[in-house]
Structure 1
Amino acid sequence: MEIPNMGKKSFLRLEPSYGHIILYGNYDNLQSIYTIQTFARECEATITVMKNGEHWFHTEEQMKFLDQWICS
Structure 2
Amino acid sequence: MEYLIQNMFLWFNITEEMLYTKREIPTPIDTLSWDYYQYVKKNPVTRWNSPTYILYGGKDNLQSLRVIENFAKSNPVALTISEQSEHSFMGNGDNEIIKSWIYNNL
TM-score for both structures, normalised by structure 1: 0.70
Q: Distance in 2 between matches of 1:61 and 1:70?
A: 15
Q: Counterparts in 2 of 1:1-72, with a 5 A limit? A: 3-4=1-2, 5=4, 19-72=51-104
Gaps of 5+ in 2: 6-49
Shift of 1:44: 2.1
* Larger gyration radius, structure 1 or structure 2: 2
Larger RCO of the pair (alpha carbons < 8 Å, separation 6+): 1
Deviations 1:36-58 (A, max 9, x none): 01211232211100020110011
C-alpha separation in 2, matches of 1:51 and 1:39: 19
Identity %: 31
Is there any run of 5+ residues in structure 1 with no aligned partner, and where?
7-15
- Structure number with higher helix proportion: 2
SS in 1 for 2:93: helix
Structure richer in strand, relative to its length:
1
RMSD of aligned alpha carbons: 1.8
How many residue pairs match? The answer is 59
- Partner of 1:70: helix, strand, or coil? helix
Q: When the two structures are superposed, what TM-score results if normalisation uses the length of structure 2?
A: 0.50
